[in-house]
Structures are given as structure tokens and as C-alpha cells.
Amino acid sequence: MPVLFEAIPTQLRFRFPFKIAHGERTHTDCVVLKASVGKYMAQGEATLPPYLPDTVESVLAFLSHPFFKTIEDDFHPADVFAEMEKLFAGNMPAKAAVDMALWNLKAQLENKSIGELMGINSKKTTPHSYTIGICTKAEMQERLQFGIDNGFSFFKLKLNGENDEEIIRNYLSLCKHPFAVDANQSWKMEDKEQILSLIKLLAENNCPLIEQPFIKTDRAHTLWLKEQTNIPIIADESCQRLEDIDDLKQCFDGINIKLQKCGGLTEAKLMIELARSLDMKVLIGCMSESSIGCGAAEVLAPLCDWADLDGPFLIKK
């Protein structure tokens, strides 16, 4: 019996304006993918922030390829992923939508959980963060309260390389919960003394990680920072796929894996395994997906040190 696919374009509108070092947005374009066999239906998601090359149109064009009419109900998601890799370059969010939908569907067909299918037996509880975009102190207080009201006790602060100390001190004056920081490539080496002062402040307040401090190709300054602090330095924009990891192990302490970057659960699990073999930390993150994408990534959270899967809490619905 063939697997039937239906692609549905939509938008995920943010509860609060979401501002990072790259800019500010109020929504993210998205394509929800339904995959069904008989009475079983599963969903995947391609989420398309504007800094990606992918668009709703490119995702729909990808999913209209005749290949997707050849997938039968005896499929294995890893085999489909391998075939997509042979047929198509790039298109990672679209591949992620297919991959997560098929793992979900396969689990239903076999009456198992996705974790069981993937051999994930860990019951470890992984710290989950709620992201606070760049904002005023009053806005931060409102967003922190929303996060706390929804069960979060660990936060991630977006930094912009301009008023980072102010952002951190605003947080410290409002909240006693642990926090991580994400610079989104905004730090500059001409601000060396400011950076040293900042990491001292972070260390004094037990910050567990610094995410992507410098531009993604800047290995030398990332290595310099790693040598200045015991706080783990985590690659996000520098780490897209499995093939990137070996090149990062010297200057980063860990990686941020996102299904939309690597094409779904199939490759994400391989990335975790390789990172662990290199003694690297792992953060499983999201691109503000809905509960579809974040729910899929949640399967891998027990294998990771931290999870940043707060997308459903960042969007209105």
C-alpha cells in the first residue's frame, strides 16, 4: 500500500516578537506534511526562518517529486532518507519533514514508540530551556513569567554583541534560575576585553554554555575563547550536518543539532553518536517549530546534555 503525502503551507506566529542578532520577526513560514497509510496518519514539519535558503515554494516543489509516490508501507525511514540524499542536494527542512513524518508513521504501523524503533532506551531527564529574545527589561520580565508559568526553570538569553552585559544583568535582577547564552555569531574580537569581562560574569553565575559566539567560520577566535573559560562553547551555525563535526572538535566543546538543519531524526541520531565518540557535549535545538517538529526532536532529548525545544511555547497556537 502506498504512503500518501499531503503538504499544507502555514505560518507560525510568535507570542512575542522574536529578536536575535540577525534581526526581528513576528512569524515563521512553515509547511506541515501529512503522511498516511490506511487509518494511520503522521505529521512532519518544514520550518523556514528567513535566513535559510529554503522557502515554502521550494519545499512544495521538493515534495511534488515523483519519488514520493513510490514509497510503500514496508518502508524504513533511514532508507528513504538515504534515497533522498542521493536524489536531492540541500532541501534540509523538506527532508526533515519527510523523515520525522515517516518515523512517526512507522512507529504507528509497528505499534511502538519512535524511541523503541531507534533503539533509544535512556530515561534520563534532560534540562529544557525557554528562550528569551533580545528585549527590554520590562519585556524580559513578562517573558520570564510566561516561561515560569509554563514549567520552565532554565532559560536561554539571546545576545547581540552590543549590550550583552546589560541583558545578563537584567536577567540576574529578575530571576534566580540557571541560564545559558546564545550570541548567534555576534561577538567581535576587537571587543576582547569586553568578552573577557563577560565570560567572567557568566562563570560567576554558573552559566552552563555559550552558544555560537563568533561568526561560523571563525575557528581561531573560537579556540581562543575556549582556552579562556571552562564554560562549554557550543556550535550552532558552525554545525549543520554530520560531516561538519570532525572539523569542530578542536575549537568547540559541543554542538547544537537541529532537525531542520540536518534533515531529520535519521541523521540527528548519527550526529549525537559521533559527537559522543569525540567526547563532545550535545544540545538538541529547534528553529521555533510547532509541537510537530519539537515533539520529533524530543525523542532524542534523553541522549543529549540540554534541550532547547521551546518552539510550541514561543508561538501563539
Domain count along the chain: 2
Please indicate, yes or no, whether residues 111 and 125 belong to a single structural domain of this protein. no
The 10 Å CB-count burial string (b at 16+, else e) for 201-220 is ebeeeebbbbbbbbebebee
pLDDT of residue 22 exceeding 80: no
| pLDDT tens-digit readout, 48-105 | 999 889 999 999 999 999 999 999 999 999 999 999 999 999 999 999 999 999 999 9
Please indicate, yes or no, whether residues 145 and 34 belong to a single structural domain of this protein. no
Q: Let me know: does 129 contact 156? Beta carbons within 8 Å.
A: yes
Q: Which domain holds residue 57?
A: 4-116
Please indicate, yes or no, whether residues 79 and 178 belong to a single structural domain of this protein. no
Close Cβ partners of 219 (under 8 Å, ≥ 6 residues apart): 247, 250, 251
CATH of the domain at 252: 3.20.20.120
pLDDT of residue 189 exceeding 90: no
Coil, helix or strand for 83?
helix
Please indicate, yes or no, whether residues 170 and 287 belong to a single structural domain of this protein. yes
* 291-298 and 265-277 helices, crossing angle to 10°: 40
Q: Where are the beta strands (DSSP E) in the chain?
A: 4-20, 23-37, 40-48, 130-132, 155-158, 179-182, 210-211, 233-235, 254-258, 281-285, 306-307
Please indicate, yes or no, whether residues 166 and 228 belong to a single structural domain of this protein. yes
Q: Let me know: does 248 contact 238? Beta carbons within 8 Å.
A: yes
- Cell numbers 503522521 label which residue? 42
pLDDT of residue 236 exceeding 90: yes
Sheet hosting strand 40-48, strand order edge to edge: 4-20, 23-37, 40-48
Q: Which three cell numbers stand for residue 59?
A: 519545499
Compute the distance between CA of residue 317 and CA of residue 311 in angstroms, rounded to an integer: 10
- Cα-only R_g, the chain: 20
Q: Looking at residue 20, what is its pLDDT?
A: 86
Which one is predicted more confidently, 192 or 265? Answer: 265
Mean pLDDT of all residues in the chain?
A: 96
| pLDDT tens-digit readout, 155-184 | 999 999 999 999 999 999 999 999 999 999
Per-residue pLDDT band for 262 (boundaries 50, 70, 90) equals very high
Please indicate, yes or no, whether residues 68 and 177 belong to a single structural domain of this protein. no
Q: Let me know: does 240 contact 258? Beta carbons within 8 Å.
A: no
Please indicate, yes or no, whether residues 258 and 222 belong to a single structural domain of this protein. yes
Please indicate, yes or no, whether residues 253 and 143 belong to a single structural domain of this protein. yes
